[in-house]
Chains A and B, each alone.
Chain A
Amino acid sequence: MKFGRVLGTVVATRKYEGLEGIKFLVVQPLDEDLKPKGQPQIAADATAQAGPGELVFMVASREGAQALPEVFVPVDLAITGIVDEVGIEKSARRNQPSARWIDLSRDD
């Protein structure tokens, strides 16, 4: 799952069967520092509670449709949660090696 910022809403009256009642939102994908990354996308809101301005996380590809009540629907991006808090580890613990890394292919 990746972070996204909800920018707006999309309304479509005529849509493929199974998509009735699903809320579509315009979402700007974000990187791990919550900065915009790539083009805005349209996501189905599986929480049914997200709104413009909110920080959310989304699941892409076929798993997007799996988040919805009807799983065989043409959806490839779904909002699966609204973020309360992101705790980024900035202390020495982050840089401390936790796995032995033996790289015999490297010259230096």
Chain B
Amino acid sequence: MYIGKVIGTVVATIKIDHLDQRKLLLVDQLDLHGEETGEYDIAVDVVQAGPGDTVLVIDEGNGARQVLGLDPGAVRAVIVGIVDEVSIQA
């Protein structure tokens, strides 16, 4: 999993069935200091996140399928949390 920032939305009418009725958000990966790394993902949102939110993203197929209740499911990146606080202590 990684922490990212939602920077936009992606709209697609033509898409595979697994993504029907799903909200797709553009997420920029953040480094330990909260800065954008330049890596990004188009992720399925299941926690009603929106642009500007700091989010927790899972990028693994089995977890994504479990969260979305799909089998098979061609999804990897899913936003599974909205982050309130990050504390780096060491």
Residue A24, interface by CB 8 Å: no
Residue in chain B with minimal CB distance to A87: B9
CB-defined contacts of B74 to chain A, threshold 8 Å: 46, 59, 63-67, 78, 80
A62 vs B77: C-alpha distance in the bound complex, in angstroms? Answer: 13
A47 vs B18: C-alpha distance in the bound complex, in angstroms? Answer: 11
0 or 1 for each of B45-89: is its CB under 8 Å from A? (1 = yes):
000000111100000010010000000111111000011111111
How many chain-A residues does the 8 Å CB contact rule pick out?
44
CB-defined contacts of A67 to chain B, threshold 8 Å: 16, 18, 74
Q: Do B42 and A98 touch (CB < 8 A)? A: no
Q: Do B13 and A63 touch (CB < 8 A)? A: no
Q: Do B12 and A83 touch (CB < 8 A)? A: yes
A99 vs B75: C-alpha distance in the bound complex, in angstroms? Answer: 26
0 or 1 for each of A48-87: is its CB under 8 Å from B? (1 = yes):
0110000001011111111100010000001011111111
B residues engaging A (CB < 8 A)? 3, 5-16, 18-19, 24, 26, 28, 32-34, 38, 40-43, 51-54, 61, 64, 72-77, 82-90
